[in-house]
Chains A and B, each alone.
Chain A
Amino acid sequence: MTTTPGPVAGQGGLWRSALHGVRARVALAVLALVVLASLAGPLVYRVDPDTLDFARSAAAPSLQHPLGTDESGRDVLSRLLVGGRVSLAVGLAAMLLSVLLGTTVGALAGLGRRWADALLMRLTDATLSIPTIFVVICVLTFLGPSIPTLVLAIGATSWMALARLVRGELLALREQDFVEAAASLGARPLSILRRHLLPHLWPVILVNATLGMASAILTESALSFLGLGVQPPAASWGNMLSGAQVTLFSQPWLAVYPGVLIMLTVIAANLLGDALRDALASGQ
C-alpha cells in the first residue's frame, strides 16, 4: 500500500473515519475504561495489594474483598488494578521501543544509500526468520527479569514488520514531486524526513503501534508463565494468571479475572488497530 501524494489527511482525519464504526467505538471505550481504572483505581480503592493474609487465602468474594483473595490471601481487586498499571506500562513502553526501532530502521533503509538499504533489509529478514522467544529468554536470563529488561527484550524483537512498512512507504514517497521540491529548496535530509515525510508515515505507525501493544501484553503473560515476566510480589496480569494455575479448579475465578482483562484489552487494541487500518485503506 502506498500513500497518496499531496495534502496529508493527518491523524485527526484518520481517527474520525476510524471511529465511524461501532466496533471501533466500543474498543476505544473499553481501552479507555481499562486505562482509567488502572490509573485512578488504586487511588480510590485503597487496599494494599501486597498484604499477605494466609488465614484467608483463596477466599471467595466477600464484602471485605470484593473479588476475593489469591493463594497468599492478598486482595485480588487491588492487585488487578495495580497489575493493570504494570501490564499496560510494559505493553506501552515495549510498543514505543519497537515503533522507534522500526521507524528508524525503515527510514534508514528507505532513504539511505543502496548498501544501507540492502544491509538493513537482510537484518530485518534475519530477525524475522528466527524464533524470537529464545532470544527474549536469553536476554532475560542474561540481564535478569525486571520491567526495563522486559521492555527491552520485547521491544527489540518486534520492530520488523513496521520497518518493512515504513521502508516501503518511503521508497514510494521519495520519488514524489514535493520531496524533490523541498530538496531543491535546500532542505536538509533530516528536516525533509521530519516535516515532509513523517506526517505521511503516522497512519502506518499508529496502526502498527495499536497492534504491537496488544502483542506485547500477550508476550509478557507468556514470559510470566516461564517465570521470566514481571517478578512477584509485584503484580501484573500475566503473573497473576500464571500464579492462578495452581488453584484453577478449586478457585477458578483467580484465573478468570486476569485472563478476561488480558483478553478484553488485547481484543480492544486489535479491534482498534483493525478499524484504523480499514480507515487507512478506504481513505486512499
Chain B
Amino acid sequence: MGGFLLRRLGHALLVVLLVSTVTFAVVHAAPGGPALLADPKLSGAERQAIETRLGLDQPLPVQYGRWLARLARGDLGNSFLFETSNVSAIRARLPNTLLLAGTALLISLVVAIPIGAASAARPGGWLDRLSSGFAFVAMSLPAFWLGIVLILTFAVRWRLLPAGGASTVGSAGSVTDRLLHLILPALVLATAGTAELLRYTRASARGVLGLPFVRTARAKGVGERAVRWRHAMRNALIPIVTVIGLQLPRLVGGAAITETVFSWPGMGRLGIEAALARDYPLVMAITLLVSIGVLAFTLVVDVVYFIIDPRLQADR
C-alpha cells in the first residue's frame, strides 16, 4: 500500500516541479524580463536598482532556487496589471470560479450519470438515441456562440435572466439574485462536460453490464433496478471518476471563455485578461495553481481507488 501511494505522491511532486520550472522559464523569457521592467519610462539606473532589489542580478540557478523557496511559502509573485500580489488577485476571483465550475460539474453529474446508465441498459432505445444525438451536438458547439445565443434569447429578448456579472450592481447580492446570475453561465459551461461524461458513462456501464458477475446477479434473481445500480453502476463509476479528474483543467479553461462571455468575475477571465495584457507572472501563477489543484484531486482519486478496489492492492 505504502509503496503505491508513495510512488504516486512522487509523480505528483515531480509534475509540480516540472510545471513550476516551465512557469519560471516563461516569466523570465518574456520580452524585457520580468514584467516590472517592461515600463519604458524607467531610466537605466532605476532599472538597475529594481534588478538588485528583486535579485535579478543573481545567476539564474540562484534565482530559480529563490523562486522555488517563495513558492513553497505560498508566494506566487506579483501582478503588474493589478499592482498587487498574484495571490490576492487570484483570491478575489477564485470563489466565483469555484462556484461556477462546481455548479457546472454538479449539473453534468446529475444529468449524465443517470441518463448514461439508462442508455447503456437499452442500447439503441429512444433515450439512447436522443442522448447520444445531444452529446454529439453539445460536443460540436462553439461554447462562446452558445453563450451569446442564450444571452440574446433569455436576457435580451425575453428579459428573464440577467445578461452577465455575478450579481446585480449596487444590490446587496441576495441569494436569489446570485442564483439567477449563475443559471446561464453554468449551463453553458456544463454543456461540453455533460456530453463527454454521458458518453463515458454509457461506455463504462455497457462494459460492466456485459460482465459475468452481472449475469450471476440476474441469475440469482436480483431485481433489474438493483442489478443496474447496486451491482453494475458501482463498478462502472470507477473509471468515470478518472474522467472527471481529467476534465478539471478543461473546466477551468472552458470557464475562462464562459466567464468572458458572461462577464463573470472569476479566475478564468482573470487569466485571459492577464494573458491578453501580457501579465505573464499572473498567468503563470494561475496555471500553476490549477495544475496543483488538478494533481491534488488526482492524488485523492488514487487513494480512493486504492481503498475501494482490492484488485489494485493485490496488483502492486
Binding site for B on A (CB under 8 A): 122-123, 125-126, 128-135, 137-138, 141-142, 214, 218, 221-222, 225-226, 238, 241-242, 245, 248-249, 255, 259, 262-263, 266-267, 270-271
Contacts of A129 in B (CB 8 A): 15, 19, 249, 290-291, 294-295, 298
Q: List 12 A-B contacts (CB under 8 A).
A: A128-B249, A133-B253, A133-B271, A134-B271, A134-B283, A137-B272, A138-B275, A218-B140, A225-B144, A241-B142, A270-B139, A271-B136
Which of the residues B141, B142, B252 comes within 8 Å of A131, measured between beta carbons?
A: B252
The reply to whether B18 and A122 contact each other, CB–CB distance below 8 Å, is: yes
A122-B18, A126-B291 known; A222+B141 contact, CB < 8 A: no
| CA A128 to CA B249, docked complex, whole Å | 8
Chain B, 269-316, CB within 8 A of any chain A CB: 271-272, 275-276, 278, 280, 283, 286-287, 290-291, 294-295, 298
The docked-state distance in angstroms from the alpha carbon of A132 to that of B253 is 7
Stretch at the interface among B73-81, B149-157, B167-175: B149-157
The reply on B257 being an interface residue by CB < 8 A is yes
A42 to B166 CA separation, bound complex (whole angstroms): 46
Q: In the complex, how many residues of chain B place their beta carbon closer than 8 angstroms to a beta carbon of chain A?
A: 47
Taking a contact as CB atoms under 8 Å apart, the answer to whether B140 and A222 are in contact is: no
Shortest Cβ distance from B261 into A: residue: A225
Q: Given A242-B144, A266-B140, are A130 and B287 also a contact pair (CB < 8 Å)?
A: yes
Question: When the two chains form the complex, which single residue of B136, B139, B156, B276 contacts A137, counting CB atoms closer than 8 Å?
Answer: B276
Q: In the assembled complex, which residues on chain B have CB atoms less than 8 Å from the CB atom of A131?
A: 249-250, 252-253, 256, 268, 271, 286-287, 290
Verify if B99 is at the interface (C-beta below 8 Å from A).
Answer: no
**Binding site secondary structure of chain B:** helix
Interface of A is mostly: helix
In this complex, which of A214, A238, A270 has the most chain B Cβ atoms within 10 angstroms of its Cβ?
Answer: A270
* Interfacial chain A residues near B222, Cβ < 8 Å: none
Chain A positions within 8 Å of B149 at CB level = 248, 255
Q: Is the CB of B290 within 8 A of A222?
A: no
State the CA gap A245–B143 with chains docked (Å): 13
The reply on B246 being an interface residue by CB < 8 A is yes
Q: How far is the CB of A144 from chain B (nearest CB, A)?
A: 12
Q: Given A128-B246, A129-B295, A263-B140, is A134 in contact with B145 using a C-beta cutoff of 8 Å?
A: no
Distance in angstroms between the alpha carbons of A225 and B291 in the assembled complex: 25
Q: Is the C-beta of B36 less than 8 angstroms from some C-beta in chain A?
A: no
| B90 smallest CB distance to A (angstroms) | 13
Query: Which residue of chain B lies nearest to A228 when distances are taken between CB atoms in the complex?
Result: B276
